[in-house]
Structure 1
């Protein structure tokens, strides 16, 4: 089905191509409880545009290195509805804290490497002057 050129429902093969994940990965995510696609009369998975947005968010959470157990819990809460908004917010805030900490460590390491690089450049420049 489509409205205004936008397709609303996808079988697993077309959905896999649209979202950029393999069919095996989609089935694995379903097994983990991250997604719950609808089923048609003959039990084929049917994905919607809402599933597209949800999977993009799951991918984003994975990119932030959120532990899979936390993503599973977040997904469970999401499917339970708005009564879980505060718990979901808490999970996202905890992940933001982890990312902020990681970012500060990366910035520290960048500064250390910049100092070391500058030291080597100065040493190399001195040896070239002496030659």
Structure 2
């Protein structure tokens, strides 16, 4: 569903789409070039005009990238998306596999965080002991 203002579809110029999606203009153009996003409609002046649907797709792509999904897999997902309902199962499997990868990475990061916490606590103890020694000297 597109936003509308008195029956007109609201669209966004590339700079506004970049701002709203959190991506750079160069990234938007790159995503278009590698067919991650469809070429947006053009306004009367020939400039890109992104819709709310385009922005929602960009937000989803950004989340996939943030979670570490490779561009190649994102392109496969986008290609399947173009094929419609018949690819729901394939797309679901891609997301399920990626979800497992994300969970594994979260576990690895938690382990790393534990090491960082340990080291920081150790430094705090050392620094505290140093201050005690200086005060008693």
TM category (shorter chain) comes to 0.7 to 0.9
Which of 103, 107, 113 is the aligned partner of 1:100?
103
Give the corresponding residue for 1:67.
70
Indicate yes or no: 2:22 matched with 1:23. no
Q: Deviation per CA, 1:22-75, whole angstroms, max 9, x where unpaired?
A: 433222111111111354597934422111111111111111111000111111
Describe how 1:73-92 pairs up with structure 2 within 5 A.
73-92=76-95
Bigger RCO of structures 1 and 2 (CA < 8 A, at least 6 apart): 2
SS of residue matched to 1:37: coil
Superposed displacement of residue 112, structure 1: 1.9
What TM-score do you get using the length of structure 1 for normalisation?
0.78
Q: Is the 8 A contact 2:81 2:91 kept in 1?
A: yes
Aligned-pair Cα RMSD in Å: 3.0
Could you state the TM-score of these two structures normalised by the residue count of structure 2?
0.75
How far apart are 1:128 and its partner, in Å?
4.3
Q: Where in structure 1 do 4 or more consecutive aligned residues deviate above 6 Å?
A: none
Q: What 5-or-longer segments of structure 2 have no aligned partner?
A: none
The range that moved more, 31-40 or 89-98, is 31-40
Number of matched residues?
131
The equivalent of 1:109 in structure 2 is 112
